[in-house]
Amino acid sequence: MTPPVLNLDKKLNTIAGNAAVKLFGEAVYKDMEPVMGSEDFSFYGDKAPSIFGFWEPEMKRGRAFSNHNEKYDMAEKCLKMGSAVMAQLAIDYLEEA
């Protein structure tokens, strides 16, 4: 059974949220309602502090599909944005250490 993904590390959550805001401004949505999906990423969170988030795909023809849907169409700019936030998170995390 796959355990739930829990973003419980408050320090890591704060650093990640601040990294996204630093790069993309206050429009970044940081307080998401819990979802009941299953994700094997939870096994990483059992071993080390971790954070799991979503990049909203661009709406195409009024409808977006999740990344596990066969009709999912990745918005290429999300790769660049997500990589930038992860790099900024790493820099900020290491500066605090």
pLDDT digit string, tens, across residues 1-56: 888 888 888 999 899 989 999 998 887 766 677 777 778 898 998 899 898 887 76
**Alpha carbon distances (Å) from 94 to 25, 89, 90:** 22, 8, 6
* pTM assigned to the model: 0.77
Q: State the average pLDDT over residues 50-73.
A: 71
pLDDT for 61 equals: 54
**Residues with Cβ within 8 Å of residue 60, at least 6 apart in sequence:** 73
What confidence score (pLDDT) does residue 23 get? 92
